[in-house]
Amino acid sequence: METNLLAELHSLPDDALLTADEAAQFLRLKYTTLAWYRCQGVGPKFSRVGPKLISYRVGDLRDYASGQAMGDGVQRAAQAALAGRRRAASLRKKSEG
């Protein structure tokens, strides 16, 4: 990945649209990792334009990279993980007490 391209991508305004390949470069991920995230319903928000064209808003990529914005799939996974930890802690307390 070329440093100049990465700098150019990061200098774009929040409403600029990137292809999936550009978004992967922006996040420093492999294209296949970003594709897997889409299939799993996790990762940054994206738009599907037609059957094959995927686009990402630069602002959404920035939010995702900073950990501030999560897609619905990520939120569900985080909530499920938290609920599991709470159940495990509750069971430990019951078995100890």
Q: Do 55 and 49 form a contact (C-beta atoms < 8 A)?
A: yes
Encoded amino acid at 5, one letter: L
Q: Do 46 and 54 form a contact (C-beta atoms < 8 A)?
A: yes
SS3 86: helix
Task: Write out pLDDT tens, residues 11-63.
Answer: 899 999 999 999 999 999 999 999 999 998 889 999 998 888 999 999 999 99
Q: How far apart are CA 49 and CA 26, in angstroms?
A: 20
Task: Write out pLDDT tens, residues 57-92.
Answer: 999 999 998 885 556 776 777 777 788 888 888 888
Encoded amino acid at 1, one letter: M
Domain ranges of the chain: 3-96
DSSP state of 67: T
